[in-house]
Amino acid sequence: MKAIERFLSYIKYDTQSDENSGTTPSSEAQRTFAEMLCAELKAIGADNASVDGNGYVTCKLPATAGREDALSVGFIAHMDTAPDFSGRDVKAQIIENYDGGMVPLGSSGLTLDPAEFSHLTALKGRTLITTDGTTLLGADDKAGVAEIMTVIEKIISENIPHGPLSFCFTPDEEIGEGADHFDAEAFATVAAYTVDGGAEGEIEYENFNAYSAKFEITGRNIHPGGAKNMMINASLVAHEIVSMLPSGDTPENTEGYEGFYHLCGVSGTVEKASLDYIVRDHDADMMRCRLKTLRHIEKLICEKYGDGTAVLTVKEQYRNMREIVENHMYTVDTARAVISSLGITPVTTPVRGGTDGARISFMGIPCPNLGTGGYAFHGPFEHITSEGMEKAVDIILGIISAYKEMKL
């Protein structure tokens, strides 16, 4: 089966993750999808495929004869889709021999426009798959899942020589929990790749250092008729905190290696208010400066209004995988060489986000990220091409072929 055929069947599963569920996986539909994938793996000959209690799908392909000492490598993709836009009842539009122009997204009134997505002109002549404008498509990351499944089927059915291989499909990557229960020891590879990026030919090994930061603000509610010098309006204190952060350091004003403070949520009354931030920076020293800035703001607010007025809680979410991968650059160099050998120009850019691979790298398995062939993830403009997916399959197979010749 071709990767695109698998993909079109997989997007029928609504696997949105739910950050408020408190379970793993965070949605029952992900478990249903996991069980289906496990059954499919067994049907194509991966007899040791399994689903664990947390919904992680794994399988291994032992090395072919004479390749037992080759460098072990793994491939990982996530099953969930983003919780911030509907993934239910996806109706894909399939446009063969795409002309490179504007594409109306069903009757939604939205249009995929080359003026906004300049790469579309380079996709002319391909089979383009889009949404109908009412849902996301699910290429992030069901495209990665479909590509890895297609690779496994090809290896088994065509008896392709290889070293020791491991594969895993994870739940809940989109809510930052995809590696929470990843068993690195059982995965047992020297290196791995997530297949969770954009255009085919991308290879990413840098991502944000990431923290969450929450200000909880306690005010003093006094009748407004007699509130002078006594009331502390928690909502106004929250506004004051926001104004103390650099206004240009926000996602809408930054790119490349530039970090930011992103205000994700606000709630407030006179008595209580809260500010929910995510804080991002590629540079570890700059991240420490950002966290010190937040702590300084907490201190200033408490000095002005009283101890406990603002309480800041900071939690690490993930770190820049470059810290690990730069000591194992053969993972990146091998992927670049394979991509180039297929006539594709390798593209290396910093990830302005994170992947399961960021956390897995710090578990002792350097884990760069490969492109899937998809674009504009997490919303109604998401799209992918059949040709891009097939190239992604070829890249994975090429990397597997390269590793069978490598030893520690």
Element (H, E) at 39: helix 28-43
Residue 164 identity (one-letter amino acid): P
State whether 180 and 305 are in the same domain.
Answer: no
CATH of the domain at 326: 3.40.630.10
Catalytic-labelled residue, pool 18, 173, 200, 298? 173
- The candidate with the shortest Cα–Cα distance to 26, out of 85, 88, 83, is 83
Q: Which pLDDT score is estimated for 353?
A: 85
CA distance 372 to 389: 6
- Answer yes or no: pTM beyond 0.95: no
Token pair, residue 193, equals: 């790749």
- 303-357: per-residue pLDDT in tens? 999 999 999 999 999 999 999 999 999 999 999 999 999 999 999 989 888 889 9
Domain boundary pick from 270, 302, 318? 318
Query: Span 30-47, mean pLDDT?
Result: 97
State whether 195 and 256 are in the same domain.
Answer: no
CA distance 210 to 62: 36
157 close to 5: Cβ distance less than 8 angstroms = no
Residue with tokens 């350091």: 249
How many domains is the chain built from?
2
Residue 200 belongs to some domain of the structure: yes
Parent domain of 391: 3-206+320-403
State whether 145 and 168 are in the same domain.
Answer: yes
Q: Which pLDDT score is estimated for 349?
A: 86
- 204-261: per-residue pLDDT in tens? 999 999 999 999 999 999 999 999 999 999 999 999 999 999 999 999 999 999 999 9
Q: Which pLDDT score is estimated for 176?
A: 87
Residue 408 belongs to some domain of the structure: no
CATH of the domain at 226: 3.30.70.360
CA distance 172 to 356: 10
Q: Which pLDDT score is estimated for 250?
A: 97
Element (H, E) at 328: none
State whether 88 and 108 are in the same domain.
Answer: yes
Number of other CB atoms surrounding residue 114 within 10 Å: 16
Question: At 267, is the secondary structure helix, strand, or coil?
Answer: strand
Say yes or no to pLDDT of 101 above 90.
yes
Residue 278 belongs to some domain of the structure: yes
Residue 150 belongs to some domain of the structure: yes
CA angle 360, 366, 370 (to 5 degrees): 90
397 close to 160: Cβ distance less than 8 angstroms = yes
Say yes or no to pLDDT of 42 above 90.
yes
State whether 33 and 154 are in the same domain.
Answer: yes
> Phi/psi at 40 (nearest 5 deg)?
-65, -40
State whether 34 and 142 are in the same domain.
Answer: yes
Residue 39 belongs to some domain of the structure: yes
State whether 110 and 32 are in the same domain.
Answer: yes
Sheet with 73-78, edge to edge strand ranges: 50-51, 57-61, 165-170, 73-78, 191-197, 369-371, 203-204
- Residue 80 among the catalytic residues: yes
Which CA distances in Å does 241 have to 188, 222, 304? 46, 21, 12
53, burial (CB in 10 Å: exposed 0-12, middle 13-18, buried 19+): exposed
Domain boundary pick from 298, 318, 338? 318
Question: At 18, is the secondary structure helix, strand, or coil?
Answer: coil
Residue 288 belongs to some domain of the structure: yes
Above pLDDT 70, what percent of the chain?
100
Which CA distances in Å does 26 have to 38, 86, 212, 330, 369? 19, 16, 20, 35, 24
300, burial (CB in 10 Å: exposed 0-12, middle 13-18, buried 19+): middle
Residue 123 belongs to some domain of the structure: yes
Residue with tokens 């703001």: 297
State whether 145 and 265 are in the same domain.
Answer: no
Residue 52 belongs to some domain of the structure: yes
State whether 179 and 299 are in the same domain.
Answer: no
Q: What residues contact residue 359 under an 8 Å CB cut-off, 6+ apart?
A: 178, 179, 182, 318
Query: Span 10-16, mean pLDDT?
Result: 96
58, burial (CB in 10 Å: exposed 0-12, middle 13-18, buried 19+): buried
Residue 321 identity (one-letter amino acid): M
Element (H, E) at 128: strand 128-130
DSSP secondary structure letters along 182-241: --HHHH--SEEEEEEESSTTBEE--B-EEEEEEEEEE-B---GGG-TTT-B-HHHHHHHH
State whether 49 and 167 are in the same domain.
Answer: yes
State whether 92 and 155 are in the same domain.
Answer: yes
Catalytic-labelled residue, pool 14, 18, 40, 80? 80
State whether 196 and 341 are in the same domain.
Answer: yes
Residue 247 identity (one-letter amino acid): S
Domain boundary pick from 318, 336, 371? 318
- Residue 173 among the catalytic residues: yes
